[in-house]
Chain A
Amino acid sequence: MSSTRFKGVRSAKSLDLAREFNLYQRSWFAEVQARAAAGGPIAVVNADAPQEIFRALDIPYVVTQWWSSVVAAKQKAGAYLGHLEALGYPDTRDSYTALAFGSSLDERRDSAPWGGLPRPAILHAVAGGDGMAKLFEAWAEHTGADLYLIERSTSWREDIAPDWWAYSHDRWDELIEPDRLELMVDELKGLIRFLEQRTGRRWDEARFRAVLDLVNEQEQLYLETRDMIATARPAPVSIADTMPATMVPQWHRGTSWGRDAAARLHDAVQARIDDGEAVCPEERIRLMWLGVGLWFNMGFYEYFQASHGAVFVWSIYLGLAADGYIRHYRDDDDPLRSLAARFVNIEEELRGPTWSSQWHLKEALSHGVDGIVVLDHLAYFDRLAFKRAGLPVLELGVSNVDPRGWDDGRIRDQVTRFLEREVEPVAAGRRGREGTPRTE
């Protein structure tokens, strides 16, 4: 039976950084609230939208999915989704985004997480998914915000480079079809004009280039951190550390704080490796988490460390930062094209057939992963790729922000069986190959 009153548990962080970043985030959010209270324009934008435009124009923005993660962590998801249901909107679809909309309908600021989401002046999203555009339009109508939607084209070609990540940093114009790039460049220009008119700010290309350079620096540091974690045995940190320590600064990318936060994560991981510190000294099993963060129950990622020596070593947050975000460009390039190149393909990289399967397999192998736990359901080609590589998969089929369908006892049992029956033999083989001691 599913528990409707499940309250998640927090993870015990190995790094102090995540706590520090969270403190910074609270102070930054208070500043955003103050600017909103003073009548300044605040934007709410989706995670897969080109936030660098807002950064370059100095328009404060809150990322929808980050805010939903806060709401979920504060165990307010059920109440906020209930607000939507009361108005006749669905409470079970697109919940990672809808939750933020639902929170906008909460009039009781005193009980809202972090004092509540400021009323946005601008909403911005990529019109992906069947309901996304309409969800944002309904949100705009209820808050009085101006909405700017952009399209993202799709590629289903079957002749993609099998190692697209090798092209994505420097040779992205070979990877992405010119028409798709041009569409997004034109849409970005439209977004800039809209924001200029709406806020009175003026576009400055030199400032934009500085933002892009900071982003590339930040993501390069994530790449190096990702690579360190991939090869370190045992893992110096788990994703309970790296997910928040990557996600929070990711929404500050294009600032020196974001870049420096990435450097601090890099140095902290390096120091733990140098000092021989491990998140689970008795590490026996290395796991990949496929899906967005389980924000209402971050403690889940540590459930099986003590009992099975099982450590979640990989998530998309650091992985995508490393392979999906860096876009170098030359002085004589149009920098907007490099920004477009960051976002045109992001859906394919994460979910496109064979794009994502090739990348997920590469990441699993490079991290010495023994099994994969999937938040939702695995795509066919991912399943095929993992099967051929002999890596077992467990699909949880749950929401990452809505705890109403989370049955903690059932899921613990399910994962335990998975680890003991399917993953442990693979892990034993890997440990044997790597020369790490067997601890049967």
Chain B
Amino acid sequence: MSELLESLRRRHDQRDEFARQWSAQGGKVLAYMCDNFPHELVAAAGLLPFRLRGDPSAPASHVAQYVSPDRSSTVAVPAFVDAMLEPLLAGAYDFVDYVVVPHGRKAIEGSYESLTRARAAGTPMRDVKLFYLDKSWVPGAASSAFDRQCVLALAGQLGEWARTPITEAALAQALAEAERGRALLRRLNRLRLERTPRLSGADALRVYSLASAMPRVEHNRLVQEIVTAAARLPARAGPRLYLAGSPQPSTALYELIERFGATVVGEDHCWGARATGCPVPPGPAALERLAERYHRTPVCSIEFPLERALERWRASVRLARPDAVLFFVVSGDELHVWDTPEKAALLAADGIPSLHLSRQGYDVTGRELTDAVGAWVSGLS
């Protein structure tokens, strides 16, 4: 089993390799931002969907040169957004042919302008084609109809890029594979949800992250292997932690927490266990089912009404049965600032202790943070 996990870690360290190989073999790669994205359409069009991810603890020199100076200070941009843009602007993602920017948080949405302006300003990025995928976040029939139109527009654009319309059969197959993948990921997630976890949070995060970087069939095979061999994994003692707050595209924070003997058994950010949820609703037409899923999926923290978002969050925390919750919010992440008092109140009512770390950076190697997390986790033990 340890070989399997080592192999997983190696693959994760070279997460871009699958897309590079795909491109080298003549395939087209479509990069996207945000986890609520109908990637099944992309697969059905014969392209490789590739979720952008960068290293938010590394300097983003091209962003600093071409984008940051002209940013409005009214839109806060957390480092993980710059990290997604940096390899594109630097020309390092020369395997990417298309980029879809979704209506997510403002900083993500603003990436469309950032890419456009950086290209105009002469950044060495490849001349990728851009598409903006809108979404109405307000619940209701009007939003459902609008979101459906957005998915149809994307389908039309993909058909143009692929030079052939997406067929119902191809989409149905992509949906089936993705659904199988979600089911497998739910099984995998149980390995850390069970009373005695067997999978570390860091390894779970690696698996989720690879789901948006590999052809789904291959990823499903990988998850199946891990799930099958899980019985051989040693039981993990130590406190169970739930991680709330900003997206964690890298495993660094998980590794820091787990170094002190804890296990991250759940999280609410978009690189984690959200990959297991939100199934495609039943129906006769694959495209309609996918559009409805796109509309219904409340994965982003933009979700409202607040009451429903809090209920969902509380259910997610309770499912994980944590001994404590860590709120880790990075600088510039505004999605978590207005509902944190309410979340803290819910935890207090459930008798769950929590630690709030705000205005953090993604470089978690600092002594102060290490000491704070270490002392807190040790106290839980």
List A residues at the B interface (Cβ < 8 Å): 87-90, 93, 127, 129-131, 133-135, 137-138, 141, 147, 149-151, 153-158, 179-180, 182-183, 186-187, 189-190, 351, 353, 376-381, 383-384, 397
> Please, which residue of chain A has its CB at the minimum distance from the CB of B310?
A137
| Bound complex: CA A179 to CA B67 (Å) | 31
Which residues of chain B are within 8 angstroms of A376 by Cβ–Cβ distance?
A: 72-74
Q: A134-B306, A150-B138 are in contact. Are A183 and B143 (CB under 8 A)?
A: yes
Check B113 against A380 for contact (C-beta < 8 Å). Answer: yes
20 contacts across the A-B interface (CB closer than 8 A): A88-B341, A93-B76, A129-B75, A130-B302, A131-B338, A134-B335, A134-B338, A134-B339, A135-B338, A137-B306, A151-B136, A156-B101, A157-B132, A179-B150, A182-B142, A187-B142, A190-B142, A377-B72, A380-B113, A383-B70
How many Å from the CB of A104 to the closest CB on chain B? 15
B258 → chain A closest CB, angstroms: 29
Contacts of B134 in A (CB 8 A): 153-154
Q: How far is the CA of A133 from the CA of B106 in the complex (A)?
A: 13
Decide if B70 touches A156 in the complex (CB within 8 Å): no
A239 to chain B, nearest CB (A): 20
A130 with B334: CB separation less than 8 A: yes
Most central of A158, A183, A190 by chain B CB within 10 Å: A183
Cβ B120 vs Cβ A183 within 8 A: no
Q: In the complex, are the beta carbons of B117 and A381 less than 8 A apart?
A: yes
Question: Is B183 engaged at the interface, CB distance under 8 Å to the other chain?
Answer: no
Assess whether B227 is interfacial by the CB under 8 Å rule.
no
CB distance from A398 to the nearest CB of B (A): 9
Would you give the 0/1 interface string for B133-172, flagging 1 where the beta carbon is closer than 8 Å to chain A? 0101110111101100110000000000000000000000
Say yes or no for B121: interface residue by CB 8 A criterion. Answer: yes
Report Cα–Cα, A88/B339, bound state, in Å.
9
Residues of B within 8 A of A380 (CB): 67, 70, 113, 117, 120-121
Shortest CB–CB separation between residue A172 and chain B, in angstroms? 18
Task: Give the number of chain B interface residues (Cβ < 8 Å).
Answer: 47
Name the A residues within 8 Å of B306 (CB-CB).
133-134, 137-138, 141
Contact between chains at A153 and B146 (CB < 8 Å)? yes
Report the minimal beta-carbon distance from B310 to chain A, rounded to whole angstroms: 10
Task: Identify which of B106, B137, B342 contacts A151 (C-beta below 8 A).
Answer: B137
Q: A137-B339, A138-B341, A383-B70 are in contact. List 11 more A-B contacts (CB 8 A).
A: A89-B337, A131-B337, A134-B335, A137-B305, A137-B306, A138-B339, A151-B136, A154-B132, A180-B146, A190-B140, A380-B70
Using A88-B344, A127-B137, A137-B306 as known contacts, say yes or no to A186 and B109 having CB atoms under 8 A apart: no
- Whether the pair A138, B338 counts as a contact (CB closer than 8 A) is yes
Interface residue B269 (Cβ < 8 Å from any Cβ of A) = no
Which chain B residue shows the least CB distance to A88? B341
* Residues from chain B with Cβ under 8 Å of A180 in the complex: 146
Q: Give B131 Cβ to nearest chain A Cβ, in Å.
A: 9
Q: Within the assembled complex, what's the spacing in Å between the Cα atoms of A378 and B149?
A: 33
Q: How far is the CA of A189 from the CA of B141 in the complex (A)?
A: 12
Give complex CA distance A406, B303 in Å.
35
Closest A residue to B141 by beta carbon equals: A186
Residues of A within 8 Å of B71, CB to CB, are 377
| A residues less than 8 Å from B76 (CB atoms) | 93, 130
Contact (Cβ within 8 A) B138 A187: yes
State in angstroms the CA–CA spacing of A158 and B141 once bound together. 29
